[in-house]
A = this chain, B = another copy of it.
Amino acid sequence: MAGIPEVILRVESLFSKFPGIGRKSARRIAFYLMDREREDVVQVAEALIDLKDKITHCPVCNHITEKIPCDICAAVQRDESILCVVEDSMDVISLERTVSFKGKYHVLGGLISPLDGVGPDDLAIESLMVRLDKVKEVILAINPSVEGDTTSFYLSRMLRKFPVKVTRLARGIPIGGDLEYTDEATLARAIEGRIEIPNE
């Protein structure tokens, strides 16, 4: 297009591939960066390269990390008898933010999805099984979707061979949620999983 320097179009087209960024946001970002100091832009560029060069996967839990083993695997104060199995590293970060889980994690690196050609061998399941020695409970913290349920089912079958308790996250009405606006499936699960109020 006339009037737009090629490099701006290039940044636009690269940025508009990012999740959640459209063409217009990409252009606004290009203009924003153009107005920054050169050293600020260099800092962004370097951080991106570092992202590829410094990040690796922990050989124990498969979580992303800069160190081997990762901070969580290395933390001696964490309870290694409880293992929380998740789909990806984003889930570890979300759960860590709650500051309520003190066990360890195992990152599958995906979900079983025959349609996408992802089978159990493509996931970090082998490395999960060899970790079960000191584990008493495995929490399957996997999203409820077709692939998630398939993966949970597969894992729970595999885990039967080991002397571990297998649990899943509770489902129900989210905190701050309203009965009126909760979908039927969630409401049904909330009724199913109802908890007795102790008679005090």
Contacts and interface: CB of A to CB of B under 8 A. Distances in A.
A62 to B, nearest CB: 13
Interface in A5-24: 5-8, 10-11, 14-15, 18-21
14 contacts: A1-B97, A2-B96, A3-B70, A3-B92, A3-B93, A4-B96, A6-B66, A18-B33, A19-B25, A20-B21, A21-B25, A31-B90, A44-B45, A45-B45
A58 to B, nearest CB: 10
Nearest to A38: B52
Interface of A: 1-8, 10-11, 14-15, 18-21, 25, 27-34, 36, 38, 41-55, 63-66, 70-72, 75, 89-90, 92-93, 96-97
A161 to B, nearest CB: 29
A44 B13 CA distance: 10
What does DSSP make chain A's interface, helix, strand, loop or mixed?
helix
